[in-house]
Amino acid sequence: MKKTSMFLPAVLLLSLIFSATLMAESPDPTVYLRGNQMSFNSRYAAKIQNGNIWVKERDAQTDAIEWNILELPEGLAGDVTELAMDDEHIIALNGERQIYTMWNGLDEVSDFTWQVEWGIPFWKGPGMKLTEEIIAWDFSVVSRREDGYWTDPAGHLFEVGAGKCSHIWVLGANGQDLIYIDPWLPIDYSYGICGPERGAFKAVNMSSSGSFLFLINQYGDMYTRFYDFDIGGADFIFPSSWEDQSDKLIPAIQIPSAWIRHPKISGEITDRISIHKIGRNCVNRTMRVEGLDAYGNTGYYEKDVTEVEGSSQWVFHPTGQPLLGTPITNLEEDCTSRTLGERDDRHYAKNMTNLATLSDSLPWYRIINEKDWAAELTNFSAYNTPVDLVVHLSPSESITLKLHTKETLRVSPRPWGLSDDPKYIPGSIEVPRNLLDNFSNLPVKSQKFIRSYLMKRRHTRVDIQATLDKVTVTGTAGGLLIVWKFDHPEP
């Protein structure tokens, strides 16, 4: 008994010493905003400390739950520099910015597994390093387990595939390029979407979760967009369409989704923003922005992504934690246009040198051929869509059509944007509703063009091959064959 009574205090003393050491090494207890040093999913919070990753059950943000240090693979252990977290995954970078993926992040910690593989085929490729020439990056996942379905812009539900849809989103060094890196796609930086204002919006930070992107600029203007490879129409497994799908019995995915501008916050904020998944069917997402309230309390402003009217929808939550973001000049008015950068739109022309010689009149019996008209793509881009397709029927007569584009599956790496290597782009030529509604009042030559090539259809599916110097559009609506070649004029 005496030995036992002497042994227990010694054990307690050692336990207290170990607990004090663990507390000194463990991260702070609460994570409110997702970022590259700390993040969370629906079950766990995660933080980097001393090159390692610590996780804890969120459990209503109570301090009673202990942090656990994760067992990491060789090459990552002790060398973690950044992380991102969504759904069942943690993406971690080491000092060389090598991408590591953790699986089973919604299950018990003992079930967590790691891999360094990335890319074709099926997330089993040779691995990838993330470039340093970026402003921000994050990870986004939709899954059957957490989301169940996508809800497209027409309000239709589409079941998420068994393989989920997972992207590392990257905000380029210019604050404009929005690049996504998918573990099932080629290892490159070729996939992306245009930002607000046809890609001219300059963001200072980005956050993503559950296929939603959240951007903020230096004046506190904020935008979100719902997009991923599948819901964006790039995956042939999920049929998509630019045509209105609202009343379709068996609808395709309605594309494209739009950027949504959000009400500005009345208060002092930083560039530290966060968005995370909530609910099912990819409708609701929680937006958070770090800042101060009117009394100088630190914390974050919060609202749902669906709330787009009035600054009063932003609700402040005090945390008492120090501000980690960079303060920004949060002006009350819309300052989107104050920081617009250059667009990568390019001009391409077809037969424009002969525009002055085109006839103002055309006999009713004559079928239009390519000598009877000229055209130009005034703002073609690999990512900014739609493109203005201006068809000139004479020096004084023209119609403006829309050329829509989207991404598609590729198996070989290629560079960002356009290059000398032709890029295949699926597309659609749209005859705007105002032209169709006013068709009988259009000049005869305009009517004949729309009838002959586009059969008076609202949308005509086309294929596009694009380089820096040439764009070729091919397809048919059942009338004259479309084989239109546009050249980029010499400067």
Report residue 4's pLDDT band, with 50, 70 and 90 as the boundaries. Answer: very low
Regarding whether 428 and 291 lie in a shared domain, the answer is no
Which positions ≥6 away from 308 have C-beta within 8 Å?
260, 261, 262, 263
Residue 425 lies in a domain: yes
Residue 151 lies in a domain: yes
Tokens 């501008």: give the residue. Answer: 261
Regarding whether 276 and 142 lie in a shared domain, the answer is yes
153-178 pLDDT per residue, tens: 999 999 999 999 999 999 999 999 99
Mean predicted confidence (pLDDT) in 98-104: 98
End-of-domain residue from the set 306, 339, 372 = 339
End-of-domain residue from the set 339, 363, 381 = 339
For residues 17 and 9, is the Cβ–Cβ distance under 8 A?
no
Beta-strand ranges (E) seen in 188-340 are 192-193, 205-209, 212-216, 222-226, 240-241, 253-254, 260-262, 268-277, 285-292, 298-304, 315-318
Regarding whether 277 and 162 lie in a shared domain, the answer is yes
pLDDT value of residue 27: 65
Regarding whether 312 and 392 lie in a shared domain, the answer is no
372-400 pLDDT per residue, tens: 899 999 999 999 999 999 999 999 999 99
270-311 pLDDT per residue, tens: 999 999 999 999 999 999 999 999 999 999 999 999 999 887
Handedness of CA 301, 212, 338, 192 (dihedral sign): positive
Regarding whether 306 and 181 lie in a shared domain, the answer is yes
Residue 161 lies in a domain: yes
202-234 pLDDT per residue, tens: 999 999 999 999 999 999 999 999 999 999 999
End-of-domain residue from the set 273, 304, 339 = 339
pLDDT value of residue 361: 77
Regarding whether 286 and 186 lie in a shared domain, the answer is yes
**pTM reported for the whole predicted model:** 0.92
355-374 pLDDT per residue, tens: 999 987 777 667 777 788 99
The percentage of the chain sitting over the pLDDT mark of 70, rounded to a whole number, equals 92
What's the number of domains the chain is made of? 2
Regarding whether 398 and 333 lie in a shared domain, the answer is no
Residue 426 has pLDDT above 50, yes or no: yes
Regarding whether 313 and 230 lie in a shared domain, the answer is yes
Residue 56 lies in a domain: no
pLDDT value of residue 159: 97
Regarding whether 352 and 316 lie in a shared domain, the answer is no
Residue 83 lies in a domain: no
Residue 253 lies in a domain: yes
Residue 6 has pLDDT above 70, yes or no: no
Residue 252 lies in a domain: yes
pLDDT value of residue 362: 73
Question: What is the per-residue DSSP string for 122-186?
Answer: TT-SB--B--SSEEEEEEEEE-TTTT-EEE-TTS-EEEPPTT-EEEEEEEETTS--EEEE-TTS-
What domain range includes position 164? 117-339
Task: Calculate the average pLDDT of the chain.
Answer: 92
Regarding whether 233 and 378 lie in a shared domain, the answer is no
pLDDT value of residue 324: 97
Residue 298 lies in a domain: yes
Regarding whether 399 and 296 lie in a shared domain, the answer is no
Tokens 């969120």: give the residue. Answer: 58
pLDDT value of residue 26: 59
State the number of CA atoms in the 13 A half-sphere of 92 facing the CB.
Answer: 33
Residue 61 has pLDDT above 90, yes or no: no
Report residue 25's pLDDT band, with 50, 70 and 90 as the boundaries. Answer: low
Regarding whether 352 and 294 lie in a shared domain, the answer is no
Q: Residue 151 is encoded by which pair of tokens?
A: 């809800």
Handedness of CA 435, 438, 443, 449 (dihedral sign): positive
